Amino acid sequence: MPRNVHWEMFFHIVWRTKTNMPLLTAKVEPITHKYLIHRALETPGVLVHAVGGIEDHVHMAVSLPPTVEPAKWIGDLKGACAHAINHGPCGLGTLAWQTGYGIVTFGKGDLPWVVEYIRNQRDHHGRGSVVGRLEEVEAPEGGEGKAR
């Protein structure tokens, strides 16, 4: 990417474990989050603002440069993560992801609350104070996405 390009692109991404199983156990979750950060940062220009979730899903807040195609990047990230976890210390069959993901763009001014939301997933789910649009991973019936 040329040096004379200014960009500020913020994405909230969420995806779920296969059949929503609680696969992100106390042992698996920190290894998974660490791997996701490491792998994401291998892409030039990517910034990871937060990674979090609960037993059945992962949230990430990232900035992706305009040279990165989000759908391909997310697919590669999910696949590499599952492979690394299953072929690493956790063992085969430990982690599998559902097909698909949810992605929402947001502005720089929203970065602090999005990061807080991701870092405090257990609390938000425990209190029932989740933000619906940040939890969505499937298009509604009859549509490819939601217009807001």
Say if CB 52 and CB 121 are below 8 A apart: yes
Q: Is the pLDDT of residue 117 over 80?
A: yes
Strand extents, DSSP E, 22-139:
47-54, 57-63, 102-106
Q: pTM of the full predicted structure?
A: 0.89
- Strands lying side by side in the sheet with 102-106: 47-54, 57-63, 10-16, 102-106
pLDDT band at 145 (very low <50, low <70, confident <90, very high): low
Closest CA to 60 of 8, 106, 1: 106
Tally of domains within the chain: 1
Range of the domain at 105: 10-126
Percentage of residues of the chain with pLDDT beyond 90: 76
| CATH number of the domain bearing residue 89 | 3.30.70.1290
Q: Is residue 120 assigned to a domain?
A: yes
How many residues are there in the chain? 148
Q: What is the residue type of 27?
A: K
Q: Is residue 77 assigned to a domain?
A: yes
